[in-house]
A and B are shown apart, each in its own frame.
Chain A
Amino acid sequence: MHGTTQAVDVAPSAGTPLTTSRPRRSLKERVFGETPSAWLFILPAVVLLATIYVVPFGWSLLLSFKADDLVTPSRWVGLGNYRALAKDPQFGAAVRHTLVYAALYVPLTIGLGMTFALMLNRRIRFIGIYRTLIIVPFVVSYAVQGILFSFIFDSQYGLANAALHAVGIGRQGFFNDPGQALYLIALVGVWSGTGFCLIVFLAALQDVPRELMEAAWIDGARRWGVFRHVIVPTLMPIIVFLLLWQTLIALQLFDLVYVTTNGGPLESTTVVVFFVYEKAFRLLSAGYGAAAAYLVGLGLIALAVLSSFVRNRWMRSA
Chain B
Amino acid sequence: MQRTSPRRWLRAAIPATVVVLACMLAACGGSSSSNSGGGRSAGPVTITVWHGQSAGPGTDKLMALVAEFNRTHPGITVNASPGSTGTESILQKVTAALAGGDPPNVAYSFGSNVANISRSPQVVDLTNTVKGAGWGWNGYYPAYRDGVTINGKVVAVPGPGDSLAIIYNKRLFRRAGVPEPRAGWTWDDYRALAKRLTDKGAGVYGAAFQSGGSLDSTWPFWPMVWQRGGEVLSADGKSVGWNDQSGLGGLQFLRGLAQDGSVYADTSPGYPKMLNLFNNGSVAMYEGDPWQLPTIKAARIDYGVAPLPSANGNGTTIVGPDAWFVFRHSAAQDRAAAEFLQWLTAPRQDAEWNAATGNLPSRAASTAQPAWQAYAKATPGLSVFTDGLGSGKVVPRVASYSAISDALGEAIQSAVIKTTGNLEDALHAAADKANSAIATTP
Contacts and interface: CB of A to CB of B under 8 A. Distances in A.
A162 to B, nearest CB: 11
B33 interface: no
B277 interface: yes
B269 A156 contact: no
Contact of A261 (B1, B95, B267, B403): B267
Contacts of B129: none
A136 interface: no
Interface in A126-167: 150, 154-157
Contact of A43 (B13, B24, B121): B13
Interface in B87-110: 91-92, 95-96, 98-99
Given A157-B277, A265-B413, A47 B21 contact: yes
Interface stretch (A64-72, A183-191, A210-218): A64-72
B14 interface: yes
Given A72-B121, A258-B269, A264-B212, A47 B116 contact: no
A37 interface: yes
A246 to B, nearest CB: 26
Contacts of B442: 67, 72
B17 A44 contact: yes
Given A47-B20, A150-B268, A264-B213, A70 B99 contact: yes
Nearest to A45: B20
Interface string B276-308: 010000100000000000000000000000000
B92 to A, nearest CB: 5
Interface in A29-85: 37, 40-41, 43-44, 47-48, 51, 67, 69-73
Given A40-B9, A265-B417, A266-B413, A71 B98 contact: yes
Nearest to A40: B13
A154 B273 contact: yes
The bracket for how many chain B residues form the interface is: 35 or more
A173 B267 CA distance: 11
Interface string B1-12: 101001001100
B264 interface: yes
B265 interface: yes
Nearest to B91: A281
Contacts of B10: 37, 40
Interface string A1-13: 0100010000000
Given A43-B13, A47-B20, A157 B92 contact: no
Contacts of B119: 69, 71-72
Given A70-B98, A71-B120, A265 B213 contact: yes
Interface in B198-231: 203, 205, 211-214
Contacts of B96: 70
A147 to B, nearest CB: 9
B290 to A, nearest CB: 25
B410 interface: yes
Contacts of B403: 283
Contacts of B414: 266
A176 interface: yes
13 contacts: A37-B6, A40-B17, A43-B17, A44-B17, A51-B24, A70-B95, A70-B98, A154-B273, A261-B269, A262-B212, A265-B413, A266-B413, A284-B116
Given A41-B13, A47-B21, 14 more contacts: A40-B9, A47-B20, A69-B119, A71-B120, A154-B273, A157-B203, A173-B417, A262-B268, A265-B212, A265-B413, A266-B213, A266-B410, A284-B399, A284-B402
Interface of A: 2, 6, 37, 40-41, 43-44, 47-48, 51, 67, 69-73, 150, 154-157, 173, 175-177, 258-262, 264-267, 281-284
Closest 8 CB pairs of A and B: A70-B95, A262-B269, A71-B120, A37-B6, A40-B13, A70-B99, A44-B20, A44-B17
